[in-house]
Amino acid sequence: MVKKLTAHGNSAALIIDKPILKLLKIGMDTPLEITTDGKNLIISPVQDADREDKFRGALAKVNARHGNTLKKLAG
């Protein structure tokens, strides 16, 4: 999909189509993080800190229980 920027006061705005917003579960109140890899603009919903903490905790449990096995499989 090719899009053009739209003038919005003294700034530029990018209009994101509703089907894309629905697919990504982004609403008007969703905080977005804007980053770049030096060539591309990357717009991502801000990750829920609680969800991230739960994921990290679960990952630590898996690594504690199965870390040696995973290292053997990777090697």
Across the chain, what does the average pLDDT equal?
92
0.75 exceeded by pTM:
no
Domain-by-domain residue ranges, the chain? 6-74
Residues, the chain, total? 75
- Of 5, 40, 45, nearest to 28 by C-alpha is 45
Q: What Å distances lie between residue 24 and 4, 20, 30, CA to CA?
A: 20, 6, 11
pLDDT number for residue 27: 92
CATH number of 6-74: 2.10.260
Ranges of the chain whose pLDDT falls below 50 = none
- Alpha-carbon gap, residue 27 to 45, rounded angstroms: 10
